[in-house]
Amino acid sequence: MEFDLSQEQESFRKVMREFAESEIRPYASEWDDKKTFPLHVIKEMGKMGLFGLIFPEEYGGSGADFTTFCIAIEELAKVDSSVAITLSAGVGLGASPVYHFGSPQQKDEWLPKLCSGETLGAFGLTEPDGGSDAGSTLTKAMRVSDDEWSISGAKAYITNSGTEITGFITVTANTDEGVTAFLIPSGTPGLRIEPAYKKIGWHASDTHGVVLDDVRVSNSAILGTIGKGYAQFLATLDEGRIAIAALALGLIRGCRDEAVAYAKSRNAFGGPIGRYQGVAFKCADMDVDVEIVRSLVYKAAWLRDSGRAFKREAAIAKLYSSEAAMRAAKDAVQIFGGAGYMDETSVARYYRDAKILEIGEGTSEVQRVVLARQLGLKP
């Protein structure tokens, strides 16, 4: 068994770490406080080729493996989850469906701009009345002619849907043939982006509701196969769960490092608080979870890169890592005490950012359903 990353991957990690430390960490608290989407940083990430990492060179990508992509997500999330999820969603939910299911024309039109970071794509699956029950899509697409569709409905909690560089939103809609995916360019008449949500975390990430009111598109807007849209997006979510686990890994590392540093520097009762088991053991538990989650993330990524089945491993990585992130964030805040409850501390931001990891890309309960079915059970 080989646990080491390649020399190229280690070099890439070093570049990502330096970028995160110099261009994101100093400003993350301010972006969080002001709920600012850091467009200039996202554009710089585009210039670095991060949005094109896993896509072929013919579209402006790097042709890297998914493991390398996870390295990028992990290092970004160690300092700021909002920037990390912008990249994760931009690649996994925006560009990947176009790459995997798009027509040659759709790929030629969109992938070069997505790979360069010039454009972000959004993924509209969740609805106001359908989160985990995403198969019960209420949005409808009706044929009005041989080459025109009318789409009406609403989508909720859509990442990267309202930025200045959002180029399109892919939505699922019910048709006579079943759930079908449609790629709808920004600015299409009838497509309305709702005001940004007031979230408890991910403040520097762009998230909106989307309303479709008689949106008219041609057959060229169909992404993939008519009636297969739901299955297509389930496949997309499997990769996304590995990326969310990588994000959780970065957050756990951030919590551990902040907690250890504070435990060494904060003095009480005549010495550093890290000399007490109540504090030291919490730090030790975080370190254990870093190693467990790292193994889960990179095994799932390796399976994906090897062309092997990875649904089970993606669900395990996502489930364990998200719940471990919540534990780490809670314990880090506890170690910081009153200071940890103040918004200006990194651990307070980690605490608020961690909760969504148990919800997005499939809740913890959904992951347990997936895993139970892998065991032949039918909950």
Among all residues, which ones are annotated catalytic?
A: 361
Contact between 252 and 323 (Cβ < 8 Å): no
Contact between 221 and 182 (Cβ < 8 Å): yes
Nearest to 247 by CA among 89, 62, 96: 89
CA distance to 47, 144, 167, 225, per residue, from 121 (Å): 17, 26, 6, 19
Contact between 98 and 121 (Cβ < 8 Å): yes
Based on C-alpha coordinates, what's the Rg of the chain? 21
**What three-state secondary structure class fits 37?**
coil
Between the two ends of the chain, the Cα-to-Cα distance in Å is: 35
- For 120, residues 6+ apart whose C-beta sits below 8 A from its C-beta are 42, 86, 90, 94, 114, 160, 163, 165, 166, 167
The whole-angstrom separation of Cα 291 and Cα 288 is 5
- For 127, residues 6+ apart whose C-beta sits below 8 A from its C-beta are 134, 137, 138, 139, 153, 154, 155, 156
Which residues share a beta bridge with 185?
Answer: 168
- Which residue type, as a one-letter code, is found at position 348? A
Written as six digits, the tokens of 308 are: 């092997």
The whole-angstrom separation of Cα 106 and Cα 221 is 8
Residue 131: Cβ within 10 Å count = 16
The whole-angstrom separation of Cα 130 and Cα 126 is 6
